[in-house]
Amino acid sequence: MDCPLAFKKEKLRHLEDGCRQNGLAMTVQRRVVLDALAERTDHPSADQLYDAVRGRLRGISRTTVYRVLETLVGIGVVQKISNPESKARYDANTVRHHHIHCIRCEKIEDMHTPALHLAQQVPIATESGFTIVDYSINFSGICPDCRS
Binder to Zn ion among 3, 57, 73, 143 (CB under 5 A)?
143
CB of 143 to Zn ion, least distance (A): 3
**Residue 143 annotated as binding?**
yes
**Residue 19 annotated as binding?**
no
Q: How does 100-125 read in b/e, with b if 16+ C-beta sit within 10 Å?
A: bbbeeebbbbeeeeeeeeeeeeeeee
Q: Say which residues have a Cβ less than 8 Å from residue 28's Cβ, sequence separation at least 6.
A: 57
Q: Of 62 and 93, which CB lies nearer to Zn ion in the complex structure?
A: 93
CB of 37 to Zn ion, least distance (A): 11
Q: Which of residues 96-135 bind Zn ion (CB under 5 A)?
A: 102, 104-105, 110
CB of 38 to Zn ion, least distance (A): 12
C-alpha 142: how far from chain center? 20
Q: Which of residues 64-103 bind Zn ion (CB under 5 A)?
A: 91, 102
Measured CA to CA, the distance from residue 61 to residue 125 in angstroms comes to 43
